[in-house]
Amino acid sequence: MGAVGYYNQPPESRRRPRRTSSFLAGLAGVAVGALLVWFLFQSVPQLMPGAGNNNAGNGAGNGAGAGQQERQSESVSVDVTTDVTEAVDSVADAVVGVTNLQETSDFWSQTEEQEAGTGSGVIYKNDNGRAFVVTNNHVIDGANSIEVTLADGTKVAATLVGTDVWTDLAVIEMDGAAVQDVAEFGDSDALKRGEPVIAIGNPLGLDFSGSVTTGVVSGKDRAIPVDLDGDGTEDWQAEVLQTDAAINPGNSGGALVNLSGQLIGINSMKIATSNVEGIGFAIPINSAIPVIESIEENGEMIRPAMGVTLIDLAQVPQAQREETLSLPADVKEGVVVNSVLDDSAAAKAGMQQFDVIIELDGEAVGDLIELRKHLYNTKEIGDTMAVKAYRNGELMDFELELVDNSAL
């Protein structure tokens, strides 16, 4: 403004004869300068980047641009969240809390039922007034009674239908009058790595019931060693889905669903160490369905059985391998028959105590887990299984006709 409005006056001696005209000229210059400054300041905000977004009065075009940008941002947010929220809404009422109640004695030897632990479960069936819930075996293990808490807080007494320790699954039954919804089974075989998934359950107890976490399928067919009897020895390898969706204590038995709201896994295990973060596991629903159906029908998972008790060869001292088993020096892996049940498939085939199994149906067997996986995953009741085993240093062949494990 100073540069525009200020002008240099002529020397005093030169402007005396034209005092009036000089005054008018100066006044005109000030007026022109003021007008220029006014126009300049009116136009500068229009030229600055983003001016239209900061001042809605600067023009209709700028205001429309801001509104359009806000609408685009809102649209992106809705697109991202809609699938997840719709999936949760479609299945949330089918996810329940499962409370394990066990009897305890006080100082006066009076017994009462107290909460021993809580987990989650999924209602998958409501038929003829009876509702069925799938959960984890370890959630209800040792329970004297079971209580189910529905999504709306309603508590319903439940009874145990049956369990399967190998898959860590259990089915419980309850009155279905208050049930609002059941979960739809999906196809876990169709899942792809990186596909979004949602975990729903009750982490840390019923105070956080219906909690939702999201993630992706990190991996499929993960083999996780499991110690079933707490002796520090691996008894089984659970084949599970891996996800980075948070699965915490209390989530066990809860739902892992896809973006269609379909149940594709039962949350089961979580690795939580100082060096591992974001690794959760779920039992694939395609593996769980045959177990669920067998438990519903028979009260347990019916599997083929050999009729033997077994120990890993790796647990046998070297001296016993040489003296008792008379094994060749090059035999380092296998499974030792510890006992043979009367009238079992193994007994009928002629197998005896201290036979060392090294092969089933032409496949090498290195340990007890490999034997169980072959027996449970590839054979059915009534199938014939070829067995190769060492007895007193001699390799022998056996043919076993597998029977129902519940019959032994």
Q: Which two tokens stand for residue 157?
A: 């007494």
3-state per-residue secondary structure call for 314-350: HHCCHHHHHHCCCCCCCCCCCEEEEEECCCCHHHHHC
Q: Residue with structure tokens 């005092």?
A: 19
Q: Which two tokens stand for residue 197?
A: 């998934």
CA atoms within 13 A on the CB side of 169: 30
168 is a catalytic site residue: yes
Among 209, 211, 218, 252, the one annotated catalytic? 252
* Distances, alpha carbon 359 to alpha carbons 326, 367, 371, 374, 389, in Å: 18, 10, 9, 10, 7
Q: Residue with structure tokens 């120990």?
A: 311
Among 120, 164, 168, 312, the one annotated catalytic? 168
Q: Give dist(CA 118, CA 250) in Å, integer.
A: 6
Q: How many CB atoms lie within 10 A of CB 181?
A: 16
Q: Give dist(CA 368, CA 314) in Å, integer.
A: 10
* Distances, alpha carbon 209 to alpha carbons 126, 221, 255, 260, in Å: 21, 29, 12, 21
Tell me the backbone φ, ψ of residue 38, rounded to 5 degrees. -60, -45
Gyration radius of the chain's alpha carbons: 38
**H or E, element range at 162:** strand 155-164
- The CA angle 395-399-405, to the nearest 5 degrees, is 120
Among 138, 164, 211, 344, the one annotated catalytic? 138
79 is a catalytic site residue: no
Q: Give dist(CA 306, CA 309) in Å, integer.
A: 9
187 is a catalytic site residue: no
3 state SS of 239: strand
Active-site residues, by number, are 138, 168, 252
